[in-house]
Amino acid sequence: MKFIRKCPLFVILLSTGLLFTIIAAGGKQTIYAQQEYSPFKEPLLSVMFTALNDDIYPWQILSIESIPVSDFTTEPDIQEAAGDLELSAPEDESPQPEDVPPAQVPSLDESALADSDGGQQEDQQDSGNEISEADGADIPKGRLEPLRESTREEYLNHISADIYGDAGVIRAAMYEFSQVDESYFDDALFIGDSRTVGLRDYTNLSEHADFYCETSLTIYKVMEENFKGLGTIPDALAAKDYGKIYIMVGINELGRGTTENYMEKYTEVIDTLRELEPEAKIIIQAVMRVSGKKDSEDAIFNNSNINARNNAVATLADNEHIFYIDVNEVICDEDGNLNADYTFDQIHLLGSCDELWKEFLLAHGV
Amino acid sequence: MVSFSSLYFLFRFLPVFLVLYFITPSKHREITLLVGSIIFYAVGEPIFILVLVLATLLNHFLAIQSWKVGEGFSLHEWQTRRRKHYMIRAVVLDAALLCTFKLLSSFVDSALLPLGISFYVFKMISFQVDLYRREVWSRPRLRYTTLYFMMFPQVVSGPIMRYHEAEFDLTRSYSAEQFEDGLKYFVLGLGMKVLLADRLAILWNDLQMIGFQSISTPLAWLGAAGYSLQLYFDFWGYSLMASGLMVMLGYNFIENFHHPYASKSISDFYRRWHMTLGSWFRDYVYIPLGGSRCSGIRLVFNLAVVWILTGIWHGNGVNFIIWGAVLGIFIILEKLLYGKLLEKIPFLGHLYVLLIIPLTWVVFAITDLPRLGIYFGRLFPFLGGPGIAVNQNDIVRYAQNYGLYFAAGIVLCIPAVFGFYEKHKKNPFIILLLVVVFWVSVYFLSTSAGNPFMYLKF
């Protein structure tokens, strides 16, 4: 007792710490199953805090019986069941394929390929090849199917697998875009993350178009997000008839899930937008790449991951209702990295460079 | 690891160390602290720990040589001469060590700067000079000198405690109250660092992301103010954590900041900001040069030397020299011209400090001179023109997003607030507040763990 009176802060911190650890341990298999945790770096109780960001609260431990541990692609919905995951770095910063026992890689790849629908797969590969030969004679109109599945190694190392190839990108590029003037954007809606915030704040497009954008927006939150002072996107679509809907999200999701998970959600969002605003043209914008420096240093936020996911969403473009444009054409250097002169933080365009993006949009009217 | 505000330190290193420290019999606790400090440093700097260890041993043996010569009740002149010779030799070696690594890191590779070398070499120099000045009262023992140079609360970023302040010779007393006191300082510092400095850092980062040419003039001023607060709470928070740890371990509290933003002149500001560095320059550079008891020209020279050195000490870059020189100029002007006036009219003094200091921090912050020029162009648009793609309303959004942090920061700059805390720190509400500060800090650390971009979400 005397001790408690002498150092109450110490005692309270110790006991709350103990309590939080018990809660975290209790929920480790259930509500906290999705939280990344490395015992050497962090205390167990930190999962309780990371989970708060995903709207998982300690008291839910009493109500939720159990959530099965995600078995990667077999149950892609699991992540949503557990709430939204923030982007989270892998324990090991650099993906190290050499760490994988060599015997396992090919066998897993093969099994992944064998698992997918054999007959259809050949068709898809053919269709992909035909397009890349660029005759354009026999372009499939519908949605393209993936050529393969992501492997478990790719998932664990946060590598976004390029499972679609460039068929979608090539098909989308066949559309003849036209030069337009600013009034074209009078009935446009822009949806995006902090990069779109830059477009809104540092060009005059916001005088024409409506911007529903927020830092750290992800495809998983697009439809639910309550944009400060504006409401949600379904609200916006109900209130006004938009002729064009531009969307660029995807960089914040890079550390999360597989290309399949991302693509599934992206497809759902695009289809919902189509349903809510059937007359509008939907313009999917490729995720802007990062600079060469960032690309070489970052295991997650790098251009090969960005390109893989761009290739995936590009397949949604049908050049009739849904289009795909890639601003990287005008902001990247010859190596395909975001031009280092256009950025300070290696990720965002400088305010003074958002004009390049605007000009690109003006040159790509649909 | 080497950051006190990391989960690894808070929940792995510190608890284990504290348990070991307090189960060690009290007369051997220095050994536990020394071993803990070596592990702490080696985890962060597995190679450069050799530099620290070698420099430590070298300084110890030079000190012993000097001590042997100086034993006895009264010193003969030849003894004093020999001791002075030893002192100069040690100081030159230490300074050369620091200069070598500074130059290597400036011109070869910035990774070649051993962690904390600017701080521990300054400790070494002060130790050698104090020894010569007979401010070290008993024969330096290896376990004390090594501990003094290497102790983990101070090795990375100070405070630059003096050898005698550690009171190695006295029997250390430990008490639960003292431990609690230290813990309170630590939690307070953690909160300042994580809840204020790290949040305000995002503002400064945003300004760089946008590009200085595109920020409005009000936002440029907000940025300068934000950076001033960020730097303050980052370093004050760090110092409180370091000194709090020292108190927990049974040592004295070393004050490093004393409400600098409440000062009335730049000279006053730097008597209250990073006080252990300021007093180091005073005792080991300024006063040996003649201090202020000399002719006007000599005084100007002395101050110029101190402030150019201060600039160089802070970093590799021309901007740091400019920063030091500008401060030196203001301090010289205060000494010679208007210092008395500022003292007499407090309002004028406060206004002057709050205007000049943030501007000097901008010079401190921006290492690239053309970009520094652009920033000043935005602060003073009549100098720099209209900027490029400036959004005139940007201030509204940033003021909304960061208003709370500014308010909290400004409140904590008021000396009376800290005074109130000191007076009522045993009040249950204050203790509960500290508990909340601790866990909210842990929340922020958890959600950004392993992800340095977390607070730079895109």
Chain A residues 215-274 with a CB less than 8 Å from chain B: 215-216, 251-252, 255
In a shared domain, residues A184 and A77: no
- Residues of B with CB below 8 A from A49's CB? 442-443, 446-447
Query: Cβ contact (<8 Å) for A86 and B454?
Result: yes
> For this structure, is B314 an active site residue?
yes
Residue A152 inside a domain? The answer is no
Distance from CA of B214 to the nearest CA of A (A): 6
In a shared domain, residues A73 and A216: no
Placement of tokens 């800290």 in the chain: B418
State whether residue A297 sits within 8 Å of chain B by CB. no
Q: Note down pLDDT in tens along chain B; length 458 residues.
A: 578 999 999 999 999 999 999 999 998 999 999 999 999 999 988 999 999 999 999 999 999 999 988 877 677 888 889 999 999 999 999 999 999 999 999 999 888 999 999 999 999 999 999 999 989 888 999 999 999 999 999 999 989 999 999 999 888 889 999 999 999 999 999 999 999 999 999 999 999 999 999 999 999 999 999 999 999 999 999 999 999 999 999 999 999 999 999 999 999 999 999 999 999 999 999 999 998 888 889 999 999 999 999 999 998 889 999 999 999 999 999 999 999 999 999 999 999 999 999 999 999 999 999 999 999 999 999 987 788 989 888 999 999 999 999 999 999 999 999 999 999 999 999 999 999 999 999 999 988 754 444 444 56
Q: What are the distances in angstroms from CA B185 to CA A5, A12, B191, B245?
A: 18, 16, 10, 8
- Residues of A with CB below 8 A from B175's CB? 6
What does the pLDDT look like over A289-313, one tens digit per residue?
999 999 999 888 999 999 999 999 9
Placement of tokens 């308010």 in the chain: B407
Residue A158 inside a domain? The answer is no
User: Phi and psi for B58 in degrees, rounded to 5?
Assistant: -55, -45
Per-domain boundaries in chain B = 7-170, 178-456
- Residues of B with CB below 8 A from A88's CB? 450-451
The HSE-up count of residue B394 (CA atoms within 13 Å, CB side) is: 27
Which value, to the nearest 10 degrees, does the dihedral of the CA atoms of residues B70, B73, B78, B82 take?
10
Region of residue B175 (phi > 0: left; psi between -120 and 50: alpha; otherwise: beta): beta
Pick from A42, A348, A354: which is nearest to B446 by CB?
A42
Query: In angstroms, how far is the first alpha carbon of chain B from the final one?
Result: 26
State whether residue A13 sits within 8 Å of chain B by CB. yes
Rounded Cα–Cα distance for residues A167 and B152 (Å)? 58
What does the pLDDT look like over B185-206, one tens digit per residue?
999 999 999 999 999 999 999 9
In a shared domain, residues A57 and A204: no
State whether residue A203 sits within 8 Å of chain B by CB. yes
User: Phi and psi for B109 in degrees, rounded to 5?
Assistant: -155, 130
- Residues of B with CB below 8 A from A10's CB? 179-180, 183
For A41, the domain range is 2-81
Q: Which residues pair with A213 in a beta bridge?
A: A192
Q: Which residue of B has its CA nearest to A249?
A: B458
In a shared domain, residues A58 and A185: no
Pick from A47, A297, A352 the residue to mutate for testing the B interface (most B CBs within 10 Å).
A352
Number of domains in chain A: 2
Q: Which residue of A has its CA nearest to B7?
A: A42
Tell me how many helices (H) and strands (E) chain A has: 16, 5
